[in-house]
Amino acid sequence: MDSEMTGRLIYLLLLLASVGGWVLVEYRKRMGEALRTAAAWGLIFIGVIAGYGLWNDLRRDVLPQQILSETGRIEVPRAADGHYYLTLDIGGTPVRFLADTGATNMVLSLADARRLGIDPDALVYIGTAQTANGTVQTARVRLDQVALGPHLDEGFSAWVNRGEMDGSLLGMDYLSLYHVELAGDRMILRR
């Protein structure tokens, strides 16, 4: 044992002696209560350690994320709501999209457009789109760079939806750049 380990051991023994001494003085006539309190704190400590150790496993189930393989294949796990979500890098800003094979175009929500530096109030909304919520006005924008994993596309057209949307939609004009396969609970994209 080297001197650093010896110093740590002495420190831990002194800490244990001081905490143990306080417990003996504080609970000298109530040892049953002291043991219950120690057991409760011990279980809390074990629960925190177990939760921390399991977080990486739980995170994949709670917040599924796309996986990029060495061959450039992108696997997207199905989320708890049954949809597939992809995160694209647009001009250096990550944007989360709902993969929507029923949508024709890439459609940005007002909030995502703002995050990308697009001023929705300055756009000209001359387009219309039929959605599940009715007819909405749209404005065409040009995205300089759109990247999904190693795949980069420049000068890609998208539409900003003037209506209220929970998030942006990734339609077939982008998805058709890939071979899309649904296998079990995964969407697999290859180029």
3 state DSSP class of 185: coil
Pairing relationship of beta strands 107-108 and 151-161 according to DSSP bridges: parallel
CA distances, 60 to each of 15, 28, 52, 55, 65 (Å): 39, 48, 14, 9, 7
Q: pLDDT tier at 59 (50, 70, 90 boundaries)?
A: low
Buried b (16+ CB within 10 A) or exposed e, 158-179: bbbbbeebebbbbbbebbeebe
Q: What sign does the CA torsion over 139, 113, 186, 174 have?
A: positive
**Distance, C-alpha 174 to centroid of its chain:** 22
Ranges in the chain annotated CATH 2.40.70.10? 67-190
Q: pLDDT tier at 5 (50, 70, 90 boundaries)?
A: confident
**What are the pLDDT digits (tens) for 138-177?**
999 999 999 998 899 999 999 999 988 889 999 999 999 9
3 state DSSP class of 124: coil
Could you give the residue ranges of the DSSP H alpha helices within the chain? 3-26, 31-62, 110-115, 172-175
What pLDDT, on the 0 to 100 scale, is given for residue 27?
A: 81
Burial of 67 (0-12, 13-18, 19+ CB in 10 A): middle
**Fold for domain 67-190?**
Cathepsin D, subunit A; domain 1 (2.40.70)
Share above pLDDT 70 across residues of the chain, in percent, rounded to a whole number: 95
* Mean pLDDT in residue range 73-97: 92
CA distances, 1 to each of 4, 5, 8, 122 (Å): 8, 6, 11, 70
Higher pLDDT, 20 or 126: 126
What is the rounded distance in angstroms from the CA atom of residue 55 to the CA atom of residue 49?
Answer: 10
User: 96 pairs with which residues across the strands?
Assistant: 87
* DSSP letters for 43-85: HHHHHHHHHHHHHHHHHHHHS---EE-TTS-EEEEBPTTS-BE
Helices 3-26 and 31-62: crossing angle, nearest 10°? 120
